[in-house]
Amino acid sequence: MEALQAAGPNRFRGIRHTVTWDPHPEIENREREGVLETADYRAGARVLARTGLSLDIGVCFPQLSELAAFAKALPDLTIILNHLGGLTRVGPHANRDDEVLPTWRRGIAAVAECPNVHLKLGGIEMPRLGFDLHTRSRPIGSEELATSVAPIMSYCIEQFGPNRCMFERNFPVDKVSFSHHVLFNGFKRFSKSYSASERAALFHDTAARAYRINNA
């Protein structure tokens, strides 16, 4: 990390590590079960905290309670949770919204209690979220997109607050479903009921603060 900081002193802001794990073989695992609870992983996270670097992390939604415990154990570490907390509605989690969504909501609420965690509002376009946008012969428009994602996005903002949420573009991965312009126009349409300061947080201020970006 010292070498990375020396190579990019004004650009190196943290480490991204996806720790996705799920017992179902249909889910692509990126780490072993329970890695957030291990002494080695937490020791590495403490190094990030001491050096003022952040941790971008990706999980599968059943792991959110583990992430909450991890975040509480390392209150000095800035954590950025990717892709709406790993909501997954395909494979073993398909057609089970009556079970999946309450579990995801409880997990989001638990993580939101940790003031050192910020949430990225994005990744909606990936097939695993179950919107099936990638299957359309004609891509979705921004107005329909804003309406479709509103229940999920609104819940996240209610729990974390605009000052700990940031819109996420997730390109080029999101190109499987629609264009960059449609995504950001969708964000604009979705957020039009929020105040000017709240929209500023969602589009810019939260990210600038979490990643310690100085535009001066």
Give the CATH number for residue 77. Answer: 3.20.20.140
Q: Would 177 be classed as within a structural domain?
A: yes
Q: Would 205 be classed as within a structural domain?
A: yes
The rounded percent of the chain whose pLDDT value lies above 70 is: 99
pLDDT for the residue 2 = 86
CA distances from 99 to 13, 28, 93, 195 (A): 37, 21, 9, 33
pLDDT for the residue 19 = 96
pLDDT for the residue 216 = 43
Burial 67-94 (b: 16+ CB within 10 A, else e): bbebbeebeebbbbbbbbbbbbbeeebe
Q: Would 88 be classed as within a structural domain?
A: yes
Question: DSSP secondary-structure letter at 118?
Answer: E
pLDDT for the residue 215 = 62
Q: Would 7 be classed as within a structural domain?
A: no
Tell me the per-residue pLDDT of 53-109, one tens digit each, with 9 for 90 and over: 999 999 999 999 999 999 999 999 999 999 999 999 999 999 999 999 999 999 999
Residue with tokens 């249909």: 26
What is the average pLDDT score of the chain? Answer: 93
Q: Would 91 be classed as within a structural domain?
A: yes
Tell me the per-residue pLDDT of 100-128, one tens digit each, with 9 for 90 and over: 999 999 999 999 999 999 999 998 888 88
Q: Would 93 be classed as within a structural domain?
A: yes
pLDDT for the residue 135 = 86
Output 216 or 36, whichever has higher pLDDT: 36
| Residues 130/90, Cβ–Cβ less than 8 Å | yes
- The structural domain count of the chain equals 1
Q: Would 2 be classed as within a structural domain?
A: no
pLDDT for the residue 168 = 94
CA distances from 49 to 15, 71, 97 (A): 11, 11, 36
The rounded percent of the chain whose pLDDT value lies above 90 is: 74
Distance CA 31, CA 59 (A): 10
Question: Which tokens in the block code for residue 175?
Answer: 């190109």
**10 pLDDT more than 90:** no
List the domain range (segments joined by +) for residue 54: 13-210
Tell me the per-residue pLDDT of 129-183, one tens digit each, with 9 for 90 and over: 888 888 888 989 999 999 999 999 999 999 999 999 999 988 887 788 888 899 9
Q: Which residues, at least 6 apart from 141, have a Cβ–Cβ distance to it below 8 Å?
A: 182
| Residues 49/22, Cβ–Cβ less than 8 Å | no
The angle formed by the CA atoms of residues 85, 164 and 193, to the nearest 5 degrees, is 95
